[in-house]
Amino acid sequence: MDNAIKKELLKKENKKQALLLGRFFKTGKGEYGEGDIFLGIKVPEQRITAKKFAETDLKEVEILLHDKIHECRLTALLILVEKYKRTDEKLKKKIFELYLKNYRYINNWDLVDLSAPKIVGEHLLNRDRSILYKLARSNNVWKKRIAILSTFAFIKNKELDDAFNIAEILLMDEHDLIRKAVGWMLREAGKRDKKAETLFLEKYAKKMPRVTLRYAIEKFSPSERKYFLNIDRA
């Protein structure tokens, strides 16, 4: 079945778009997406394919997730998201475990962002979340991004503690993809509880990376943004 999915994706190849995506997702030597291969298929088209093949066996989806082509891996993840939404608790557990076991193939920010909140985050809503703290403390950028992005599911449920706790763990991370993700989740937490985000920023704004701070205060008023951007010089 994975061959059928891949064949369908190959038919949608857009070489011009693939070149643009290769640059956008930093596939050059020494960049975080080094060597990744793109077909040039937009996400909405991949969602259509994922829904079409949503009943594909998990083993076949896992094979597709191991593919060298970016869109194959993303479509596999979108299939897992579809399956997770519509299945029973036993299979949800299997999807969750398969996802974490294969983190090395979830190796670009779009792959993480479109799947982690809807699989890992959703699965842990009413479960022990210690695995996220383990991921956050790893040396792997994708594990760390999975950890912070998974908290988006909690944030949407107005449970903010884990988002702030994991943001604190990752606050001084050197990778731009983690710095931006932390700022993004702080901003989302602030949409639900601005006071809580403000307290966090009052404590950490002086030392957090500039890009993280800018993401975090994006929805603040001009005067509030000015205050936090200059707090280290106050």
**What are the extents of the domains in the chain?**
1-106, 124-234
Q: With cut-offs at 50, 70 and 90, classify the pLDDT of residue 170.
A: very high
CA–CA distance, 182 with 201 (Å, rounded to integer): 12
Of 84, 74, 67, the closest CA to residue 2 belongs to 67
Of 109, 111, 164, the closest CA to residue 133 belongs to 164
Q: With cut-offs at 50, 70 and 90, classify the pLDDT of residue 190.
A: very high
pLDDT of residue 204 exceeding 70, the answer is yes
- pLDDT at position 233: 52
CA–CA distance, 42 with 21 (Å, rounded to integer): 10
Cα 32 to Cα 15, 22, 166: the distances in Å are 21, 11, 22
pTM of the predicted model, to two decimals? 0.94
Q: How far apart are the first and last CA of the chain?
A: 61
What percentage of the chain reaches a pLDDT higher than 90?
Answer: 89
- pLDDT at position 22: 87
Name the DSSP class of 40.
-
Helix, strand, or coil (residue 32): coil
- pLDDT at position 65: 97
CATH placement of domain 1-106: 1.25.10.90
- pLDDT at position 156: 97
**Cβ atoms within 10 A of the Cβ of 43, count?**
14
CATH placement of domain 124-234: 1.25.10.90
Q: Which helix (H) or strand (E) holds 39?
A: none
- pLDDT at position 27: 85
Mean pLDDT for 131-152 is 98
Of 24, 39, 99, the closest CA to residue 69 belongs to 39
Asked if residue 186 lies in contact with residue 212, where contact means CB atoms within 8 angstroms, the answer is: yes
As a whole number of angstroms, the longest Cα–Cα distance in the chain is 61
The average confidence (pLDDT) of the chain is 95
CA–CA distance, 169 with 71 (Å, rounded to integer): 31
Mean pLDDT for 27-52 is 92
